[in-house]
Every structure is written in C-alpha cells, then in structure tokens.
C-alpha cells in the first residue's frame, strides 16, 4: 500500500456522478461488462492517469460477477463481488461490427461464455492488484511524470516499488499478472473475430519510442525513468517473456514493452469505456 501522508499535489479529482438510467441486477445479461468507479486513493489515481470514469472492470456470466482480484479469478454473486464497494457501477453491452447485440441469433453468446468459464477455472493461475495497473499507467503515460517535483517523484516511485513487490509475489507463486480490464478484453476477443473488442487508439497515450534526452530532464525525472524501466522489465518477465534475448532488447521501448508483454494488448478500463463495441445501458441499481 502507499505510504500515509503522500499526495500527488495535482488537480483535485472529483468523483464523477452515476448515470440516471438504472439497471436492476435481475436485468443483467450474460456477457454484460461492469465498469466500476472505485473508492480510495489508488482508484482515484487510476482514473486520473487513465483519464476515464472507471478504475475497475468485471464481466457477468449470467449468474455471477467474474473479476480479477489479488487471489485470482473471483466468481461471486453481485452482493459478494466488488460491486457493493464501488461508488457506482455502469453496465455496458457488446454490439458486433454490424450492430448485432450479443445473444442475438446472429451473435451467439456461447463463445464468450466459454472463454469466461476458461478463466474461472482454475482461479489461481492469475492475480491482480490495482497497484499494478496504477504502476503501468505511471510508467507509460508521459503526463504521469512530466516535470516532476521531488514529492511527486517520491510518490510515483513508491507506487512502482509497491507494484514491483506484488509482481515478485506473483512470480514466486507461479502466477501471471492480469489486469482486470484485460480479463474482460480476453473473454471477448479470444471468442473469435466477431467478438473482438475494438480499442480506440490502442497504446497511443503510451510513451513514445523517443523519450526526452536525459540532459533535458530533472534528476527526479531521470530517477523515475530508471525505476519505471526496471518495473516494466519485471512485468515482462512475469508475463512470460525472456528479456535477456537480443531480439527483445532491440525491439523494446517503455511503450512497446507493455503492449508486447501480454497476450492481449495493455487494455485499461478507459479503453473499454470508449470502445465502439461496448454500449452503455445505465447504472447498476
């Protein structure tokens, strides 16, 4: 967890309000995507760096909420999931490229539900903590560490350190880190071409392959860049890449290492929020 008393000293991020349309839990449909605005500092920072409304993502299998948590894939009823802890939860539904909704005769939900079941068992193959998503955003979003003050640099390095500890624990346990929104993305995209979730401008906000010259950066920015590089390399190892190979070393940049180190791209809750394939229905009641 983050040390007490540290502040990012940036613009205040006010909680965004929920939608007016209400969706009763009994009206949820298999394959519905649940995007949540969580509470607390880490959730707020995720939204700040990701520039979106949400900090957590889950998917509904027809009976339970399926989400990635620290213990692995969690399968629970609405009341025992992360839903009650959130400020609000918005419901999104998948629409195919031709406008057909999931579950229609033209777009059977079975392939998606099959991929959800695949990730439900066994649950301990993966693991996730919000601090990992926050660290990835910190390490790859240029605005996260542009013109850092000493206090800001200290806090961001603390975030990276905490996330590195989490990654080390997952590696030691033989588990792969999987971001909450990556789980949702995989359940759809791995179901086949008709179910692929289009991500608008995927990886565009990531750091460019030509970062500023060291001489143009402050000591705080340089120290953070070095810490971010170490974290991203450890993340790649946890995702199963051999970072010692010459080909990997020649190809990687702080931006590409995240995009290349997962079977699915680095997909965030905001990426799901803005996908043309996911249409908002309303706020979960």
CA distance 142 to 134: 14
% the chain with pLDDT above 90 = 48
pLDDT digit string (tens) for 24-54? 999 999 999 999 999 999 999 999 888 899 9
Mean pLDDT score of the chain, rounded to an integer?
Answer: 82
Query: Could you tell me the residue ranges of all domains in the chain?
Result: 17-128+178-204+266-285, 142-172+207-265
Architecture of domain 17-128+178-204+266-285: Alpha-Beta Complex (3.90)
| pTM for the full predicted model | 0.84
pLDDT at res. 210: 44
pLDDT digit string (tens) for 117-156? 999 988 778 989 899 999 988 887 765 555 667 777 788 8
For strands 33-37 and 88-94, give the pairing. Answer: antiparallel
CA distance 24 to 39: 22
> HSE (CB half, 13 Å, CA atoms) of 46?
28
Per-residue pLDDT for 203 more than 50?
no
Alpha carbon 164 to chain centroid distance? 16
Q: Give which of 284, 86, 61, 99 is closest to 183, Cα–Cα.
A: 61
How many Cβ atoms sit within 10 Å of the Cβ of residue 216?
A: 8
The C-alpha torsion from 64 through 66 and 69 to 71, rounded to 10°, is 70
> SS3 of 78, please?
helix
pLDDT at res. 6: 46
pLDDT at res. 39: 94
pLDDT at res. 262: 44
What's the pLDDT band for 207 if we cut at 50, 70, 90?
Answer: very low
């Amino acid at each position: 967890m983050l040390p007490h008393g540290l502040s990012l000293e940036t613009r205040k991020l006010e909680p965004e309000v929920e939608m007016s349309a209400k969706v009763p839990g009994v009206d949820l449909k298999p394959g519905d995507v649940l995007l949540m605005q969580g509470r607390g500092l880490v959730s707020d920072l995720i939204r700040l760096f990701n520039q979106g409304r949400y900090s957590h993502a889950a998917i509904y299998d027809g009976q339970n909420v399926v989400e990635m948590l620290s213990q692995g894939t969690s399968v629970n009823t609405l009341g025992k999931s992360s839903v009650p802890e959130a400020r609000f939860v918005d419901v999104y539904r998948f629409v195919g490229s031709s406008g057909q909704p999931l579950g229609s005769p033209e777009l059977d939900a079975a392939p998606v539900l099959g991929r959800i079941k695949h990730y439900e068992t066994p649950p301990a193959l993966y693991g996730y903590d919000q601090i990992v998503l926050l660290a990835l955003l910190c390490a790859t979003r240029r605005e996260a560490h542009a013109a850092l003050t000493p206090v800001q640099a200290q806090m961001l390095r603390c975030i990276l350190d905490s996330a590195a500890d989490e990654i080390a624990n997952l590696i030691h346990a033989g588990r792969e880190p999987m971001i909450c929104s990556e789980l949702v993305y995989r359940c759809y995209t791995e179901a086949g071409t008709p179910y692929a979730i289009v991500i608008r401008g995927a990886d565009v906000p990531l750091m460019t392959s030509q970062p500023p010259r060291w001489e143009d950066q402050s000591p705080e920015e340089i120290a953070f860049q070095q810490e971010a590089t170490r974290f991203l390399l450890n993340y790649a190892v946890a995702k199963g890449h051999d970072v010692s190979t010459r080909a990997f070393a020649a190809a990687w940049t702080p931006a590409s290492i995240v995009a290349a180190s997962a079977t699915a791209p680095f997909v965030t809750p905001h990426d799901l929020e803005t996908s043309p394939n996911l249409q908002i229905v309303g706020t979960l009641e």
